[in-house]
Copies of this chain bind each other. A is one copy, B any other.
Amino acid sequence: MAIPLRIIDPDKLKTACSTCSLHELCLFPGLSTAEMKAVDHLVDRRRVVKRGDYLFRAGVNLHSLYAIRTGFLKSCVLHEDGREQVAGFHMMGDLMGMDAIGTNQHLCDAVALEDSEVCEIPLKDLESLSREIPSLQHHFHRIMSREIARDYGIMLLLGSMRSEERLAAFLLNLSQRFGARGYSAHEFHLRMTREEIGSYLGLKLETVSRTLSHFQAQGLISVQNKHLRITNIEGLQELVGQHGCRT
């Protein structure tokens, strides 16, 4: 395990959290320099996942959590009978794999929708380091909790919104997340197919397509295949939670 004596190990440098531009989004903001140093050793290694490849598959044993550095992935829950549903879309700074801690087995497939790069964080190491750094521990709990909160939002969406509201909420969510990461919040590339959007929103791909066309006709957005531009964000916001039909 001895690291070869080199002045700069370029690989290590690239992996280090302390030099990572994502560290405010990712697991470890607001740590002292010394703590940051300790965290650097936590991040085992980076891994590249090509478009279409699996980061992990349902059923395999958990060894690490994965923090996304670049790229875009989806997670798919699998039902015993073969049905499959997109449970989330994940981008830079998101942490994946937390659903597997309970059973020690991944519950969902994680598939890259574009070439992506992730940092592996062995759970054992994260747990032992968070025993030493209370702020890291608390931050990890916050991240798990936010995942629960996100899921509650999706449950609300699936359980009580009509198709237009779902899609509007989806677009606003993407917009907000791209914006938070320094990308344009009103113009972006949809990395997933209509079918994947539909699966995530509990709709059929035809409904997704129709609803997008409808939004475009209303002047809310302009879509050209996967390129999307939000032209009236207030209009979309009004749509969400407007048609309070399904009481």
Chain A interface (Cβ < 8 Å from any Cβ of B): 77, 79-83, 85, 87, 98-103, 107-108, 123, 127-128, 130-132, 134, 137-138, 141-149, 151-156, 158-160, 199-202, 204, 241-242, 244, 246-247
28 A-B pairs in the complex with CB atoms less than 8 angstroms apart:
A77-B153, A81-B244, A82-B244, A83-B160, A83-B244, A83-B246, A85-B159, A98-B144, A98-B148, A99-B149, A102-B145, A103-B145, A103-B146, A103-B149, A107-B149, A123-B141, A127-B134, A128-B134, A130-B137, A131-B134, A144-B145, A148-B151, A151-B155, A155-B155, A158-B159, A158-B202, A159-B201, A204-B246
Rounded to whole angstroms, the CA-CA distance of A160 and B83 in the bound complex is 8
Cα distance, A148 to B147, chains bound together (Å): 7
Number of copies of this kind of chain in the complex: 2
Q: Of B83, B99, B159, B242, which contacts A156 at CB under 8 A?
A: B83
On whether the beta carbons of A152 and B101 are closer than 8 Å, the reply is no
In the complex, are the beta carbons of B144 and A241 less than 8 A apart?
no
Q: Given A127-B137, A244-B83, A247-B83, answer yes or no on A77-B144 (Cβ-Cβ < 8 Å).
A: no
A107 to chain B: which residues have CB within 8 Å? Answer: 149, 152
Complex partner residue of A138 from B127, B134, B142, B241, CB under 8 angstroms: B127
Inter-subunit contact A155/B158 (CB<8 Å): yes
**Cβ-defined contact, B152 with A102, below 8 A:** no
Taking CB as reference atom, which chain B residue is nearest A245? B83
A202 to chain B: which residues have CB within 8 Å? 158-160
Partner of A241, one of B80, B99, B145: B80
Residues of B within 8 A of A151 (CB): 148, 151-152, 154-155
Give the residue name and chain of the B residue nearest to A157 (CB). B158
Given the complex, which residues of B lie within 8 Å of A147, measured CB to CB? 148
Q: A102-B145, A131-B134, A147-B148 are in contact. List 12 more A-B contacts (CB 8 A).
A: A81-B242, A83-B244, A83-B246, A99-B152, A102-B143, A102-B146, A103-B145, A127-B141, A151-B155, A158-B158, A158-B202, A160-B199
Residue of B nearest to A133 (CB): B131
CA distance A200 to B128 in the complex (A): 38
Shortest Cβ distance from A48 into chain B, in angstroms? 26
Q: Which residues of B contact A247 (CB under 8 A)?
A: 83
A88 CB → nearest B CB, Å: 9
Min CB distance, A188 to chain B, in Å? 24
